[in-house]
């Protein structure tokens, strides 16, 4: 997490992450629960959007949630406090310089983090070192290349590619979701099993039209307008056309599809 965070750390971004967490909780997290007394490292907790869900779903597990950003951690602490969580400790730390003993956690949880790293496999190796043999690692990442929609629009794809290019320029990878399996295998995890979690949105699911298509995905693309134009990635009129096309898919005949990938692997006992 040593490079710039391409999404920024603005209040609007926090709202986006919060909406996203609300709409996607069941899809992403329904099958994650940790047993009583187990210790879980949440690596890259950001503003705590996933932390609240995680800690609520496993109230008798103890979480250590780290992030490199003090500002994000302050938000995460506030959010956890407001939720009345007593089973989370927040620690400011870099994934590549972790202040924990080897094999000191029963489980590791990594969500929306690899997309920001230029050495994702190395990060997983570091985190695996903190895991007790027999413990699990869970990795969840999105993939902007999975986005497809109706009406289809080259302009919308061009605007999306700006976000992908900016994230790549910052050392990240907005297409990392499809790589969760090979990255976990490369890091030496055992029995890796990846499952896709597609967010499918049509007019019969108005909460997702608002909360995901418009409030999460389109808002994220709109959020890179200034850096995309500043970097000369696209003409202003082309970017606007792309954003308009993304709003068009929130109309009654529109459809939007986006896929997250969730992988779970085990650290082989010695």
Cβ proximity to a second copy, 62 vs 144, nearer residue = 144
Contact criterion met (CB below 8 Å) for 98 and 130: yes
* Euclidean distance between CA atoms 163 and 173, whole angstroms: 10
CB of 264 to a second copy, least distance (A): 12
Which residue stretch of 9-17, 108-116, 127-135, 171-179 sits at the interface with a second copy (rule: CB under 8 A)? Answer: 171-179
Going by C-alpha positions, the residue among 268, 263, 108 that lies closest to residue 181 is 263
> Out of 28, 166, 192, 224, which residue is the one contacting a second copy (CB under 8 A)?
192
Closer CB to a second copy, 58 or 250, in the complex: 250
Does 195 engage in binding with a second copy (CB under 8 A)?
yes
How far apart, in Å, do the first and last CA atoms of the chain sit? 30
| 115 near a second copy, judged by CB under 8 A | no
Tokens of 137: 């690692």
Q: Which of 193, 206, 235, 268 binds a second copy (CB under 8 A)?
A: 193
Please identify which residue in the block is written with the tokens 């890091």.
187
Choice between 134 and 182, CB closer to a second copy: 182
CB of 224 to a second copy, least distance (A): 20
- Interface with a second copy, residue 2, by CB under 8 A: no
Determine which residue in the list 84, 97, 101, 204 makes contact with a second copy, applying CB under 8 A.
204
Nearer to a second copy, 86 or 203 (CB): 203
Residue 126: phi and psi, rounded to 5, are: -60, -45
Q: Is 91 exposed, middle or buried (0-12, 13-18, 19+ CB in 10 A)?
A: middle
User: CB of 196: closest distance to a second copy in angstroms?
Assistant: 5
Contact call for residue 148 and a second copy (CB under 8 A):
yes
Q: Does 149 help bind a second copy (rule: CB under 8 A)?
A: yes
With contact defined as beta carbons under 8 Å apart, do 49 and 72 qualify?
A: no
* 196 near a second copy, judged by CB under 8 A: yes
Smallest separation, CB 102 to a second copy (Å): 27
Q: Which is nearer to a second copy, 34 or 149 (CB)?
A: 149
Instruction: Using CB under 8 A, list all residues that contact a second copy.
Output: 143, 145-146, 148-150, 152, 175, 178-179, 181-182, 185-186, 192-196, 198, 200, 202-204, 252-255, 257, 259
């Amino acid at each position: 997490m040593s490079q710039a965070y391409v999404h920024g750390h603005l209040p609007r971004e926090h709202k986006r992450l919060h909406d996203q967490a609300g709409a996607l909780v069941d899809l992403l997290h329904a099958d994650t629960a940790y047993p009583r007394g187990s210790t879980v490292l949440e690596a890259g907790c950001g503003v705590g959007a996933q932390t609240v869900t995680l800690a609520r779903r496993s109230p008798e597990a103890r979480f250590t949630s780290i992030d490199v950003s003090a500002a994000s951690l302050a938000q995460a602490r506030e959010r956890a406090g407001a939720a009345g969580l007593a089973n989370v400790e927040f620690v400011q730390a870099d994934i590549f310089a972790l202040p924990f003993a080897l094999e000191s956690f029963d489980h590791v949880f990594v969500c929306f983090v690899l997309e920001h790293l230029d050495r994702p496999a190395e990060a997983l190796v570091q985190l695996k070192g903190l895991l007790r043999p027999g413990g699990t690692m869970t990795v969840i990442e999105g993939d902007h290349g999975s986005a497809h929609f109706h009406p289809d629009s080259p302009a919308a794809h061009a605007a999306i590619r700006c976000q992908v290019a900016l994230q790549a320029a910052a050392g990240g990878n907005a297409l990392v979701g499809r790589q969760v399996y090979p990255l976990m295998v490369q890091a030496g995890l055992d029995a890796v099993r990846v499952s896709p979690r597609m967010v499918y949105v049509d007019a019969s699911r108005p909460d997702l039209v608002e909360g995901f298509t418009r409030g999460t995905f389109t808002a994220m693309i709109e959020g890179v307008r200034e850096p995309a134009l500043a970097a000369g990635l696209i003409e202003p009129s082309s970017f606007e056309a792309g954003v308009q096309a993304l709003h068009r898919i929130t109309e009654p005949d529109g459809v939007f599809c986006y896929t997250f990938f969730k992988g779970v692997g085990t650290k082989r006992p010695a």
